[in-house]
Amino acid sequence: MLFAGGGTGGHLYPGLAIARTLVRLDPSVRPFFVGAERGIEKQVLPGTEFPHLLLDLHPLYRGRPWENWKTVRGGIGAWRAIAALDRREQPRLVVGTGGYAAGVALAYAVVHRIPIVQQAGDSHPGLTARAFRRWTRETYLAFPEAARVLGGDPAQLIDTGAPIERPPSPRPDRRSARLKWGFPPERGRVLLMYGGSQGSLAMNRVVADWVRRGIPDDLHLIWMTGRASYGEFASLDGGRVRVREYLSPIADAYAAADLALVRAGAMTTAELFAWGIPPIVVPLPTAAADHQTHNARALAAAGAAIHVPQSELTVDRLDREVRSLLADAPAMARLAAGASARARPDAAETIARRILSLLDLQQIRS
């Protein structure tokens, strides 16, 4: 089974979650990953258990169209490499998880009549998901709102949620988790802040000014800065603030948190919802096609998050939003209920089982 997608973690990690679940459910499944040399998969895939092929793939350079010769050249080379892979491995299905790294593999599959499915990670699916919609057997939606954008046969648009690593069962005890962080086991609330796996300098600087000015008296803060920025903010660790360059395992932070301040990526919000943690979401303004803003608006409209554009994220705005929630228990409860209502902790298994059912119906390639 060929998994095609990447460029960013939001397009790679769903594929890994689905692949691992497939292997757990049916050990005869052999996932093979295709990605881009310039994407996050270059760092991640060598450390996984799966064979993979990294290609010289490029996105469409919308703002610099004269550079699209790289996209064409890379696409031709990738087509030849995928053809050789097809002859060697003969995949029965291609799973597209989005991003420019998926495009050539999906196009090859369509031309050679290899069945395809897709996992659409955002409320406004990207160009790849839209371009191959008509040939896709099933599309697994992280956001139900994506169905309006994709159109087509509603029976082929499956609201599964984003495939994540589900929280452990039983859940870690919140009292114990807080004590691990050096916080009181019951008194006050815990805010978890992180701006993606690499951190966000813009968000970090606002949080730093907020800490220096004084966070609410009944609030404790777990703050992941990202490795590149940690040195700038490490001195603020202490008292009711814990500053870390990275959170691994992040479950220790999720278990202690009551509220989060995060980007609006599909995987980030899906993990928070699975843990029942309501977020204040600050979309990354430079995300492709501004998809994080679409995500944030959809979640805010559903009552699952508070949306604050990065241009409006100031110390005053952050302080006001957090204090308002801390002072209004019913509002906090409503937000937490909205977040929990969006939770799909079994998404990876749901998708894997549907894929296996499709393979049962499709014994040979057609």
Task: Assess whether 352 and 337 both reside in one domain.
Answer: no
Residue 319 exposure: Cα atoms within 13 Å on the Cβ side: 14
Task: Assess whether 198 and 337 both reside in one domain.
Answer: yes
Evaluate whether residue 248 is within a structural domain.
yes
Domain count, the chain: 2
Cβ-contact 179, 287 below 8 angstroms: no
Averaged confidence pLDDT in the chain: 92
Percent pLDDT > 70 in the chain is: 97
Cβ-contact 119, 350 below 8 angstroms: no
Tens digits of residue pLDDT in 98-130:
887 899 999 999 999 999 999 998 898 888 899
Task: Assess whether 26 and 99 both reside in one domain.
Answer: yes
Task: Assess whether 24 and 75 both reside in one domain.
Answer: yes
Evaluate whether residue 366 is within a structural domain.
no
Evaluate whether residue 104 is within a structural domain.
yes
DSSP class of residue 137? E
Mean pLDDT to the nearest integer, 215-234: 95
Residues 6+ apart with CB under 8 A from 328: none
Evaluate whether residue 246 is within a structural domain.
yes
The residue segments making up the domain with residue 98 are 2-166+346-361
List 189's β-bridge partners, or say none: 219
The enclosing H or E element of 231 equals: helix 230-233
Cα-Cα end-to-end distance for the chain = 15
CATH number of residue 321's parent domain: 3.40.50.2000
Degrees (nearest 5) of the Cα angle 31, 36, 40?
90
pLDDT band for position 271 (cuts 50, 70, 90): very high
Q: For the whole model, what pTM was predicted?
A: 0.85
Tens digits of residue pLDDT in 310-332:
999 999 999 999 999 999 999 99
Evaluate whether residue 56 is within a structural domain.
yes
Task: Assess whether 356 and 213 both reside in one domain.
Answer: no
**What are the DSSP calls for 114-152, one per residue?**
--EEEEE-SSS--HHHHHTGGGEEEEEESSTTHHHHH-S
Work out the burial of residue 312: count CB atoms within 10 Å of its CB; fewer than 13 is exposed, 13-18 middle, 19 or more buried: exposed
CA–CA dist 355, 361 (Å, integer):
10
Task: Assess whether 321 and 350 both reside in one domain.
Answer: no
Task: Assess whether 246 and 296 both reside in one domain.
Answer: yes
Task: Assess whether 334 and 350 both reside in one domain.
Answer: no
Evaluate whether residue 257 is within a structural domain.
yes
Task: Assess whether 111 and 230 both reside in one domain.
Answer: no
Task: Assess whether 306 and 351 both reside in one domain.
Answer: no
